[in-house]
Structure 1
């Protein structure tokens, strides 16, 4: 093991890797299930972007952790309570409006987050952000278009989008929370100050929702716990699929 400051950076990288891995898996569930072929392929490609991002973060985290850790061991050999992804990423796939509403909210956040991480004192995290921001700008452009199409479309598409935003609202607060580890890394110039992103995110989301004739409800409720390993029941079911082959055939390579 390395010193404690490097361990903190490893934990931070794994957190970001968990976010990307779990969301990438959720998006991959749309493969062959999209509403039409073009969107089926588009969602699958977005999923691949997240899986690639997860590999970058988890590989770096494993490198810092040492002791034989690899991106595969972090992805496939940890139990539910050991995962540290935020809860919004693990929620079930839902319908198409839910998937696109979640994607939009995350795209707005991740655009701000990755832009800030480019300035990280950690060269590897900065490099990952520089690569990932290009993908995220494209994701945001797509999800904005779908917010408008769904919100200004039929009565049913409008209702489904508004319902999805209501279901997601209470999970967004966790995106902007900083615990002791992230605060310590912020002082070192490594981590992003999530708190500083909330106002700009909220303004962008509010403006987009107004154009789409929907609204993100005020959070009368909040759900959190992902960073400390307290997850919804949905993560366990997701991991049973994600990890099946490695659990059934430990160490299998192909």
Structure 2
């Protein structure tokens, strides 16, 4: 930003002082009510011509300089006001995830998915939340939890497949799922069943999961009456690696 633009920017921020703080707060609260967030777009003006975006920028600068009172902070914070750029990115991601949830009914964002504007990499943002290093902020955790955010995608996928296997057993009377048996759109239940056998063989399957599979009559052999052989892919063929 060159000196002329910086001076104009600073002037615009200071001009917001001509409007009482309470009036600005009411505008901010109205924006929050209408949009369900405080992501005020660049250059946004209210219906009465007030530059709400400049006021938001002024509040952030005042906060950084310690000029926001405790009462003002608390009132804005209850609106989930965005205080810094790190929060800005989080709120942007959360807003996009809410839109995704409203449209699809869940928060399982596919790899490569971008937001409604096709710019925000929502799938990466979701992965970042799951891989957060440290104690996740409580307020943000509860907001994600409220829209049924899936924190452990592996457990979610296992439970999803297990539920489909239960349905298969109820319909067919056994758990001998054929190869390439697709369910629920994109779930290869046949491959998942093979993986459970392999996971047991290599001690990757937990005792709890093994017991749950046993309880529904899971067949640890590839076909009824066959030896317990784990079939693993080898190039374009399958060959037995070892038996239990």
Q: Structure 2 length as normaliser, TM-score?
A: 0.25
Q: Structure 1 length as normaliser, TM-score?
A: 0.24
**Which structure is richer in relative contact order (CA contacts within 8 A, separation 6 or more)?**
1
Find the structure with the greater CA-based Rg: 2
Higher strand share: 2
